[in-house]
Amino acid sequence: MPVYNFSAGPAALPGAVLARIGEELGDWQGRGVSVMEVSHRSREFVQLADRSEKRLRRLLKVPDKYAVLFMQGGATGQFAAVPLNISQPGEIADFIVSGYWGEKAVAQSRCYLDPNVIADGREHDYRRLPECTPESVDGDAAYVHYTPNETIGGVEYRDVPEVGGVPLVADYSSSLLSEPVDVSRFGVIYAGAQKNIGPAGLTVVIVSDELLGRARAETPSVMNYTMLASAKSMANTPPTFAWYAADLVFEWLEAEGGLDVIGAQNARKAALLYNTIDRSDLYHNPVWPAHRSRMNVPFLLTSPKLENEFLVGAESAGLRYLKGHRSVGGMRASLYNAVPLAAVEALVEYMREFERRA
Ligand code: PMP
């Protein structure tokens, strides 16, 4: 029986990538040792680092004037790195808050600047995206921050907010590489790797060179975009294994046909699951339909006492990690790139069967 992994993160990796890691584990590049055991300054690893940056640039069509950084500290580290790098003490930054992660970004920024929430989805329990117009943006703000996809609430912006001339910063942790994106609209894009990029431990940052050279003096060097850009992300020892695996994921994405192809597949997977939920009497997705996430699909059972039975049955059908986030309960199916259509087909078949029996 196949096993399908719907984990929200760390999440499924492509089977082909896992197989390759297995093959190369004891002998990477004919060196007779694993990638985990070689210096990040070795010729082989430096080549990998260059290659992975080129692949990521090709996949996302990153304009030349952007630096691509491979960092550590996760998206949570970026909640601090962004204000340290692109704002000065006493400045304000505008925040569009559409869920749990946006709230976290605001809270951390408060240590460094004066956050101003210009749009807040909380009044709709984060089941709808707050509207943001260019008029609500403060022209003097150091930046505007938002979360294109909220992993817990399951809401996703399909359009990039219009923010006038203020740099736009996006926490793309749970949707980067899930479809094409126009990088030129952003000042900073960041994403923890553990959803669509690779194993945890690596954080991808894409930053416009217009924003380099502005870091506060107290910025730790490992968080300093300008230093990292000139050190090719090797100010200190990077998470070499996670970086290696991310390079294999980029290679896999290119072989799959790139982000247009993967984006169309992701749309199909999400549509299949939402249609199944909407047509049933047992399952319910609380999110306003136009704001639903393609990556994370939370759903509730109209009869909550069946939830445990649903999860136990799913587990024995090989459908793993469907339990919802502890803050919202219910179920959540995460449909990242490495989750095949067959996984969603198996899930909806199980859901229909469970409803028939319920
Ligand atoms: N932002 C978003 C949108 C996330 O989904 C997550 C993790 N689930 C985070 C931030 C926090 O990421 P990390 O654990 O890498 O710090």
Residue 206 has pLDDT above 90, yes or no: yes
Residue closest via CA to ligand 1's atom 9 equals 75
Q: What is the pLDDT of residue 77?
A: 98
Q: Which residues contact 156 (CB under 8 A, 6 or more apart)?
A: 148, 149, 150, 175, 291, 292, 293, 294, 295
Mean pLDDT throughout 292-320? 96
Residue 197's CB is within 10 A of a number of other CB atoms, namely 29
C-beta of 148 in contact with ligand 1 (< 6 A): no
Q: What is the pLDDT of residue 55?
A: 98
Residue 352 has pLDDT above 90, yes or no: yes
Assign residue 104 a region (left: φ > 0; alpha: ψ between -120 and 50; beta: otherwise). alpha
Residue 272 has pLDDT above 90, yes or no: yes
Q: What is the pLDDT of residue 346?
A: 98
Residues 275-295: pLDDT tens digits? 999 999 999 999 999 999 999
**Residues facing residue 298 across a β-bridge:** 332
Q: Which of 28, 101, 243, 252 is catalytic?
A: 101
101 is known as an active-site residue: yes
Count H helices, E strands: the chain? 9, 14
DSSP 292: B
Positive or negative torsion for Cα 320, 322, 323, 327: positive
Using CA atoms, how far apart are residues 330 and 314, in angstroms rounded to an integer? 13
Q: Give, in degrees to the nearest 5, the angle at Cα 193 between 191 and 195.
A: 100
323 is known as an active-site residue: no
- Mean predicted lDDT score pLDDT of the chain: 97
Q: Which atom of ligand 1 is nearest to the CA of 151?
A: 5
Q: Are strands 4-5 and 283-284 parallel, antiparallel or unpaired?
A: unpaired
Q: What is the pLDDT of residue 130?
A: 96
Sheet with 331-334, edge to edge strand ranges: 283-284, 296-301, 331-334
Nearest by Cα to 12 from 22, 3, 21, 24: 3
**DSSP characters for 27-53?**
-STTSSS-GGGS-TTSHHHHHHHHHHH
Using CA atoms, how far apart are residues 155 and 137, in angstroms rounded to an integer? 22
**φ, ψ of residue 219 in degrees (nearest 5):** -65, 125
C-beta of 154 in contact with ligand 1 (< 6 A): no
**DSSP characters for 129-182?**
PPP--GGGS-TT-S-EEE-SEETTTTEE-SSPPP-TTSPEEEE-TTTTTSS---
pLDDT confidence band for 327 (50 / 70 / 90): confident
138 is known as an active-site residue: no
Cα(150) to centroid(ligand 1), Å: 9
Nearest by Cα to 145 from 195, 187, 199, 193: 187
